[in-house]
Amino acid sequence: MADNLYARIVQAASDLDRNFILPPGRAPLSYGDAFAAAARFAHVLTRHGVGPGERVAVQVEKSPEGLFLYLACLRLGAIYLPLNSDYTAGELAYFASDAEPSVFVCSDRSREKIAGFFPDERILTLSDDGQSGTLMEEARAAPAEFSDAPMAMGDLAAILYTSGTTGRSKGAMLSHGNLFSNASSLKQAWRYSQSDVLLHALPIFHTHGLFVATNTTLLSSASMIFLPKFNLDAMFAGLPGATVMMGVPTFYTRLLSDARLNRDSTRSIRLFISGSAPLLAETHREWQQRTGHAILERYGMTETNMNTSNPYEAMRLPDSVGLPLPGVELRIAGEDGRPVAPGEIGMIEVRGPNVFSGYWRMPEKTASEFRPDGFFITGDLGTVNADGYVHIVGRGKDLIITGGFNVYPKEVENLIDALPGVEESAVVGLPHGDFGEGVTAFVVAKTGIKLTEDGIMAALSGQLAKFKLPKRVIILAQLPRNTMGKVQKNLMRDEYRGLYAPTS
């Protein structure tokens, strides 16, 4: 009998009548409904020439059927290629040329632009609500049973492209074993069971909403309240029926801005989880004061799934992403790959069954990202305290070298974020004629508060060494973010790169 991610999902689903997805405005969908839909979709894909190892590109809005398409690919042995619903035609054309999918599934309104670079006869459509489109039309006449492909844990299950904020986007190859091992670790670490109901408002083209949220739910035979997107009214309507919520930091700050958030509105939740971007310590503290819950922050990335998590029962530290998950080895290393002294800043490197096999058709890039002993170089700078908790300082590429001195943006950001009236900040290095790079802070004020550059500079004076102090403070209405809430520092670098005129 084959042993792969889908086989383990079926094994975990002891009751096919149990609710899997609870979509607002629609009848509940059981595990049996999900498996039958996946079978029908698998038949459609097969009819269009998709076989084991073939890629299926998917750019659709979030719906239960969009999720069932992922399960169909697992059953078929195809490689699932989820794409951000905001990607442009030019970006999609690149992914199609690089991954060479056999079939492209898209929304009805996207078909015309995709047909500009992809054969029309190999395009299937799925409406935003999942109820119509050529995929659904063909699936309705297909059998509800399918002979699953005998894939193994080492076979590829998905390719997820990195955000590509610098240079060419890379396709991270994730196996059935990568996804299964990580979801199993999370199920154990977060005490997941079939009695859990997840409030799911994340997109399903990303590791967080697709693999962390969905795979963990599937392997627990749990249920999900499946919201199309984040909406405050829908979130408050869903909270009483949920036991777990996963979100990005923006979810938590927006909920905090609503007077409905209190201990009563969150009383049914046993666990709030945050990831995909750093959670401010102030957000952590304010959430605990308002609700009585300590948010559990974890750390992962496209290439590795989840690496660490704050503990379920022990102390959850603000500003920390917790401890390595079971089976994950983590070390803080210098440029030579050797571990640095305890408490020192270095590169976070990880090794374990969660770590991807490499980048699609990029063997040289893959080789450069792994140490000879198998540790993956994450690109994130961090430290580990005496109790083993991991603290992320920032991305390696975000390190600022000014006048020959190293400045870690997180240190400066933490001080700025603690100032009265500051909502959040981002610190970057911009080209500077004298210093090479000038430390530059971008700051967002809390609603109704007026901040000034001089006021922030005066507040920081004496708290940092002079070389760490920002040379300029720019007040913004908001920080630029991607769809998962990560601050896009590259956009600020590009827009303000001429801020410091060259000196003569």
The model's pLDDT over 25-41, given as tens digits with 9 standing for 90+, comes to 999 999 999 999 999 99
What's the mean pLDDT in 232-246? Answer: 98
On whether both 413 and 436 belong to a single domain, the answer is yes
On whether both 385 and 473 belong to a single domain, the answer is no
On whether both 362 and 436 belong to a single domain, the answer is no
Domain end among 369, 395, 421: 395
- Asked, for residue 198, whether it belongs to a domain, the answer is no
DSSP designation for 397: G
Residues in contact with 59: Cβ distance below 8 Å, sequence separation at least 6, in sequence order:
82, 83, 84, 85, 87, 92, 104, 105, 106, 107, 110, 114, 205
On whether both 60 and 147 belong to a single domain, the answer is yes
CATH code for position 174: 3.40.50.12780
Tell me the pLDDT band of 167, cut-offs 50, 70 and 90.
low
- Asked, for residue 23, whether it belongs to a domain, the answer is no
User: Rounded distance, CA 72 to CA 356, Å?
Assistant: 22
Tell me the pLDDT band of 185, cut-offs 50, 70 and 90.
very high
Q: pLDDT at residue 230 above 50?
A: yes
On whether both 333 and 356 belong to a single domain, the answer is yes
Tell me the pLDDT band of 81, cut-offs 50, 70 and 90.
very high
CATH code for position 462: 3.30.300.30
On whether both 388 and 406 belong to a single domain, the answer is no
Tell me the pLDDT band of 397, cut-offs 50, 70 and 90.
confident
User: Rounded distance, CA 249 to CA 321, Å?
Assistant: 13
On whether both 235 and 342 belong to a single domain, the answer is yes
On whether both 391 and 425 belong to a single domain, the answer is no
DSSP designation for 130: S
Helix (H, G, I), strand (E, B) or coil at 180: helix
On whether both 391 and 284 belong to a single domain, the answer is yes
What's the mean pLDDT in 148-175? Answer: 87
- Asked, for residue 501, whether it belongs to a domain, the answer is no
Domain end among 180, 201, 221: 180
| Confidence (pTM) | 0.87
As given in the structure block, the two tokens for residue 366 are 């893959």
Domain that holds residue 337: 230-395
* Residue 386 near residue 201 (C-beta atoms within 8 A): no
On whether both 380 and 426 belong to a single domain, the answer is no
- Asked, for residue 187, whether it belongs to a domain, the answer is no
Q: pLDDT at residue 439 above 80?
A: yes
Domain end among 345, 378, 395: 395
